[in-house]
Amino acid sequence: MKKLFNPTAAELKNTPEAFLREISEAVMIFIEGESTDRTRGLVTLLHGNEPSGLLALHKWLLRAEKPLCNLICFIPSVPAAILEPMFRNRVYPGQRDMNRCFFPPYDDLPGALAEEILELFEEYKPECILDIHNTSGHSPDFGVVTYESREHEALVSLFCDRMVVTDLRLGALMERSVRRCPVVTIECGGVDDAGSAAVAWNGLQKYFYQEDVMTLEHGHHMDLYRHPVRLELKPKTVIAYADSYVIGTDITVPTTLDRCNFGTVERGQLIGWMGSRMGRDCLRAHDANGEDVFERFFELRGNQLMTAQPLKLFMITTRPDIAIGDCLLYAAEEREHQVVDT
């Protein structure tokens, strides 16, 4: 991994694209702050197709300003991001998803990189860490955390008001969150959504300059969504996105399904049209305990896959490769949605 300390304009190049092409591998950037006895952590581009955090960071670095305290930043998935077309590949072809590698074994390239990032965080001891992403489908902004805490809520609130509390364990960086160094994931909104850049920029400005980022502003309301499940495709499932069933597919998903992201959907919301391998032959939905919850969340009416109860859906992807490689969507039961008044 390359390491840059207070990089110069020449090192940063004029554009984030030129900078990444020049660097061509994972990079750590350390910026000295006004106060050098505290450090904050930042990771972005763990997924090569999710650039909002990187674009905001690069724009800010070019200003050569001093943040309030030291910053240690990691930009891991540079090799995936710079494959043409730029910012299209979530992972480097043939490798594991970088954000599933933050627990042992670390015995492949992304695992070794994750281990090195964790070791450097251990060495530099940031007081907190942000991991900035985008969703692949259209979506509003939200944060994801692995347990409820005031510090998590405060960090997410720098960017947005929606917070998913997940008990699913996949090996993501945020699962490393501990009281002495909270870690949160920020989803700035869709890769192609016009507002995502501003979400990343405005949130990072607060993160770089605000004295206290771990106390929620008095009266700030956060919407919490608890215990999401993932709707996953079983291996060898054939998926397409279209406005009606595509012959030969196991599931065809409406192209506009991502409009449902964070809207409340009622029972009977169409998720897709199934082929001859019906529902559970090619789909699975397990909760954090590994319990099969497919029938509680979803039902089949004829060849139509529908929601079986009112749900909050999020992270709905409109990319077949991501639906297969990761999951089609996350769903949380609407009764779990609570507004917390702080």
For the record, the structure tokens of 56 come out as 């905001």
* Closest to Zn ion by CB, 133 or 230: 133
Q: How far is the CB of 136 from Zn ion (least distance, A)?
A: 8
For the record, the structure tokens of 234 come out as 């079983």
* Closest to Zn ion by CB, 50 or 333: 50
* Closest to Zn ion by CB, 12 or 57: 57
Give the footprint of Zn ion on residues 49-68 (CB under 5 A).
Answer: 50
- Rounded to whole angstroms, how far apart are CA atoms 144 and 40? 18
Q: How far is the CB of 139 from Zn ion (least distance, A)?
A: 12
Q: How far is the CB of 321 from Zn ion (least distance, A)?
A: 14
Contact 49, 88 (CB under 8 A): yes
What kind and span of H or E run contains 35? strand 35-44
Q: How far is the CB of 43 from Zn ion (least distance, A)?
A: 11
Helices (H), the chain: 9-12, 16-23, 52-62, 78-81, 109-124, 150-157, 196-209, 294-297, 320-325
| CB crowding 277-303: b at 16 or more within 10 Å, else e | bebeebbbbebeeeeebbeebbbeeee
Give the footprint of Zn ion on residues 121-180 (CB under 5 A).
Answer: 133
Q: How far is the CB of 173 from Zn ion (least distance, A)?
A: 10
Q: Which residue is nearest to Zn ion (CB)?
A: 133
Q: How far is the CB of 117 from Zn ion (least distance, A)?
A: 15
* Closest to Zn ion by CB, 47 or 138: 47
- Rounded to whole angstroms, how far apart are CA atoms 49 and 99? 13
- Window of 40-48, 148-156, 169-177, 269-277 that interacts with Zn ion by CB under 5 A: 40-48
* Closest to Zn ion by CB, 50 or 151: 50
- Window of 44-52, 77-85, 104-112, 192-200 that interacts with Zn ion by CB under 5 A: 44-52
> Peptide bond preceding 51: is omega within 30 degrees of 0, i.e. cis?
no
Q: How far is the CB of 97 from Zn ion (least distance, A)?
A: 9
Number of residues located near Zn ion, criterion CB under 5 A: 3
DSSP states along 184-252: EEEEEEETT-TTHHHHHHHHHHHHHH-S-SSSPPTT-EEEEEES-EEEEEPTT--EEEESSPPTT-SEE
Among candidate residues 320, 187, 332, the one with its CA nearest the CA of residue 260:
332
* Closest to Zn ion by CB, 144 or 216: 144
Task: Look at residue 54 and give its three-state secondary structure.
Answer: helix
Contact 162, 218 (CB under 8 A): no
* Closest to Zn ion by CB, 305 or 315: 315
Contact 164, 143 (CB under 8 A): yes
Q: How far is the CB of 50 from Zn ion (least distance, A)?
A: 5
Q: How far is the CB of 46 from Zn ion (least distance, A)?
A: 6
- Window of 45-53, 226-234, 264-272, 290-298 that interacts with Zn ion by CB under 5 A: 45-53
Strand partners, 241: 253
* Closest to Zn ion by CB, 39 or 52: 52
- Window of 41-49, 75-83, 159-167, 233-241 that interacts with Zn ion by CB under 5 A: 41-49
Does residue number 47 form part of the binding site for Zn ion (CB under 5 A)?
yes
- Rounded to whole angstroms, how far apart are CA atoms 188 and 199? 6
* Closest to Zn ion by CB, 58 or 133: 133
- The residues of the shown chain that bind Zn ion, judged by CB under 5 A, are 47, 50, 133
